[in-house]
Amino acid sequence: MELTRIHCFVLVLILHGTGTWSDDGLLVLDYYAETCPLAQEIVQHSVEIAVLKDPRMAASLLRLHFHDCFVMGCDASVLLDSFGDMVSEKEAGPNLGSLRGFEVIDKIKYNLEKACPYTVSCADILAMAARDAVSLRGGPTWEVLLGRRDSLKASFDGANHFIPAPNSSLETLIANFDHQGLDVEDLVALSGSHTFGKARCLSFRQRIYDENFQEQGDRYERNTMFRRILRSICPQSGRDHALAPLDFMTSARFDNHYFNNILQGKGLLPSDNVLVVQDHGGEIRRQVWAYASNPQLFYASFAKSMVKMGSINVLVGDEGQIRKNCRFVNT
């Protein structure tokens, strides 16, 4: 049986522990132990400052990593600005006007370039920053495998095609995650990232005004007060960029409330609700119940799935480059 890259990463961990490059040239722990020993501390300190100034930035940094990995892999392509014939992924529908945190990554990269020029990749910065952002808001931490290199191109079309839409059906979400090598358990665990942060009115308006969602089993009808609150934030037309918390209980804290919310029909996005409404077999609903009743189980599953997601189609060895400026390919 042919081993996938993700299986190989697990073997590297088992065989090589926390060394630098493995013989196979894959990601490992402590990759910068000799070349930039303070790399993780520099990233963590910068994320702490950014999140202290703006608690919502924690969710934004996690989302940056997710949107990067789902387009061509975890290669920092999402950070590239448009240049020449290349159109930035920032201009794609799922990202335009909503993806944020680029200036935080710029600051981290600036600090790392002063300490260790041309050493730490932007892709690794995204992975470390996502981990630190979650941990700082009360969530789990995990060991980030390192050694990614940065893409030489972006994929505007890929960003429009592969990043899950907020109105995706369960079937579409499962297929989308499967394309990335992630299974249903990863889908449910990573959906738990919607326990903090905010979403634009544009992302959930249809669900609170379109009666077809009620006909399809949407449970908003049982939560008329919740729906009224959302309608006060998001009128039937206009205010597309008005923001509502993904979790009205603890919008700035990473916890397991998201799973309680969707069990009560109080998930904000249509793609949240489908996890329980369209799960006809009951397997996903059982996983949601388990996470709702056991935060530590959710944390462990989330950390495991983040490591797995962070290994999607990475560039290693001589592939790509280490960008000096995360917004542009080196000249």
pLDDT, tens digit (0-9, with 9 covering 90-100), for 304-321: 999 999 999 999 999 999
Over residues 4-50, the pLDDT tens digits come to 444 444 333 333 333 434 334 489 999 999 999 999 999 999 999 99
Least confident of 74-88, 107-121, 144-158, 215-229: 215-229
In this prediction, residue 209 carries a pLDDT of 84
67 has catalytic annotation: yes
Q: With 80 as the cut, is the pLDDT of residue 247 above it?
A: yes
Fold of 182-305: Peroxidase; domain 2 (1.10.420)
Mean pLDDT for all residues in the chain: 89
Residue 84 known to bind ligand:
no
In this prediction, residue 198 carries a pLDDT of 95
In this prediction, residue 32 carries a pLDDT of 97
Q: With 50 as the cut, is the pLDDT of residue 1 above it?
A: no
Main-chain dihedrals φ then ψ at residue 316, nearest 5 degrees: -140, 170
Task: Report how far residue 331's alpha carbon sits from residue 329's, in angstroms, rounded to the nearest whole number.
Answer: 6
Residue 185 known to bind ligand:
no
Q: Which CATH class is domain 13-164?
A: mainly alpha
Q: With 80 as the cut, is the pLDDT of residue 94 above it?
A: yes
In this prediction, residue 226 carries a pLDDT of 86
Residue 194 known to bind ligand:
yes
In this prediction, residue 24 carries a pLDDT of 40
Residue 24 known to bind ligand:
no
Residue 68 known to bind ligand:
yes
CB-CB contact of 111 with 88 (8 Å): no
Out of 7, 16, 65, 67, pick the active-site residue.
67
Over residues 97-106, the pLDDT tens digits come to 999 999 999 9
Residue identified by tokens 């944390």 is 299
Residue 314: closest CA among 127, 133, 134: 127
Residue 241 known to bind ligand:
no
Q: With 60 as the cut, is the pLDDT of residue 272 above it?
A: yes
* Whole-prediction pTM: 0.89
Q: What percent of the chain has pLDDT over 90?
A: 78
Residue 277: closest CA among 185, 198, 213, 184: 213
CB-CB contact of 149 with 122 (8 Å): no
Write the DSSP assignment of 170-200 as a string of letters: HHHHHHHHHHTT--HHHHHHHHGGGGSSEEE
Instruction: Give the confidence band of 118 by pLDDT, cuts at 50, 70, 90.
Output: very high
Return the DSSP state at 245: E
| Domain ranges, ordered by start, for the chain | 13-164, 182-305
Residue 318 known to bind ligand:
no
